Amino acid sequence: MSDVRTIENTPTPAAAVQPPATLADEAPAPNPVNLTTTANPVVLTPADEKLRAALPFAPAIALDPVDGSKLSIRSTTPTFAYQGRIYYFTSEANRRLFAENPEQYAKGRFAHL
């Protein structure tokens, strides 16, 4: 019975261990972020302020129903009234697309965002 091998009486062979891979170069240092300044600050005109004050909601931000872009509502923002709602657009081209087929965009994928 001495020729039966078990965990307790079997010698453990030495395993060859490979060293972990090392990186030759370091990553560049991250760019510092200045949170106190904005790259393109929004400058509102008195007409913009008057329009925003008349809106029933704040902040004065909307989504373009054509492409889903977020936009800041200003006095020059293209608009279109449809079924008692006012829709805001990032461009006159998007307003024209909406005007051609408002039902498609009023119930489209960006309508409820």
Q: What is the pLDDT of residue 112?
A: 55
Domain map of the chain by residue range?
46-106
Does 76 score more than 80 pLDDT? yes
- Kindly state the tokens that stand for 32: 């510092």
Beta bridge partner(s), residue 85 = 82
Q: What is the pLDDT of residue 38?
A: 59
Predicted confidence (pLDDT) per residue in 16-28, tens digit? 888 888 777 777 7
Show the CA angle centred on residue 110, arms to residues 44 and 55, nearest 5°: 35
**pLDDT confidence bin for 96, thresholds 50/70/90:** very high
Q: In 26-55, which positions are buried (b, 16+ CB within 10 angstroms) versus exposed (e)?
A: eeeeeeeeeeeeeeeeeeeeeebeebbeee
